[in-house]
């Protein structure tokens, strides 16, 4: 490890004060999920495409789609195919990975803060809210993306949707597939 890299940097006093006063909001992105082996965008797109194969997309079409470099474009096509063929994609299974007891989320979940995440998966599950129904602290629908939902420690706001509601997930390059 480089001598110039400090794995435990000093925490600025403003962050310590926010944490101690219960005003800290932790932002969590895909890099955290990659640490526990959730798929990358490419892996995500490939897993979605594989779910289409048993339900009607042939391997020739699959290989054609896989040549598209942009995983969001592949996901857009997969979503169109799934809708046309009435295929339900199981997004939750794609992000279900085995967790070691000592993982990054076990640390994050111990924080007394609210969270904002761009991740779809549900590994953010704060210990402070374990006894509360999930619908009281996990928010992912557009109408729930409100500042007030950041005011309570233990709340988790999914900016790009959640695997519980595939229609809430922002995964494609097109805003509307009904056209």
Residues 115 and 33 in one domain: yes
Residues 17 and 88 in one domain: no
Match 């020739």 to its residue by tokens: 60
Q: pLDDT of 81-90, one tens digit each? A: 898 889 999 9
Average pLDDT over residues 163-173: 88
Residues 77 and 122 in one domain: no
pLDDT score at 178: 44
Mean residue pLDDT across the chain: 88
Q: Which domain holds residue 80?
A: 41-94
Q: How confident is the model at residue 174 (pLDDT cuts 50, 70, 90)?
A: low
With a cut of 90, say whether residue 30 has pLDDT above it.
no
Which among 94, 115, 133 is the end of a domain? 94
Distance CA 104, CA 112 (A): 15
């Amino acid at each position: 490890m480089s001598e110039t890299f400090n794995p435990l940097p000093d925490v600025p006093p403003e962050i310590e004060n926010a944490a101690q006063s219960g005003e800290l909001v932790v932002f969590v992105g895909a890099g955290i999920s990659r640490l526990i082996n959730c798929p990358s965008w490419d892996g995500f797109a490939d897993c979605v495409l594989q779910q289409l194969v048993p339900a009607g997309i042939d391997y020739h079409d699959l290989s054609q789609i896989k040549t598209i470099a942009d995983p969001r474009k592949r996901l857009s096509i997969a979503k169109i195919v799934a809708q046309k063929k009435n295929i339900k994609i199981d997004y939750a299974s794609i992000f279900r990975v085995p967790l070691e007891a000592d993982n990054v989320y076990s640390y994050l979940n111990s924080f007394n803060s609210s969270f904002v995440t761009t991740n779809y998966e549900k590994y953010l599950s704060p210990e402070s809210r374990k006894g509360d129904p999930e619908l009281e602290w996990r928010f992912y629908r557009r109408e729930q993306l409100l500042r007030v939902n950041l005011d309570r420690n233990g709340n988790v706001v999914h900016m790009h949707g959640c695997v519980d509601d595939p229609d809430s997930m922002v995964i494609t390059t097109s805003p509307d597939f009904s056209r």
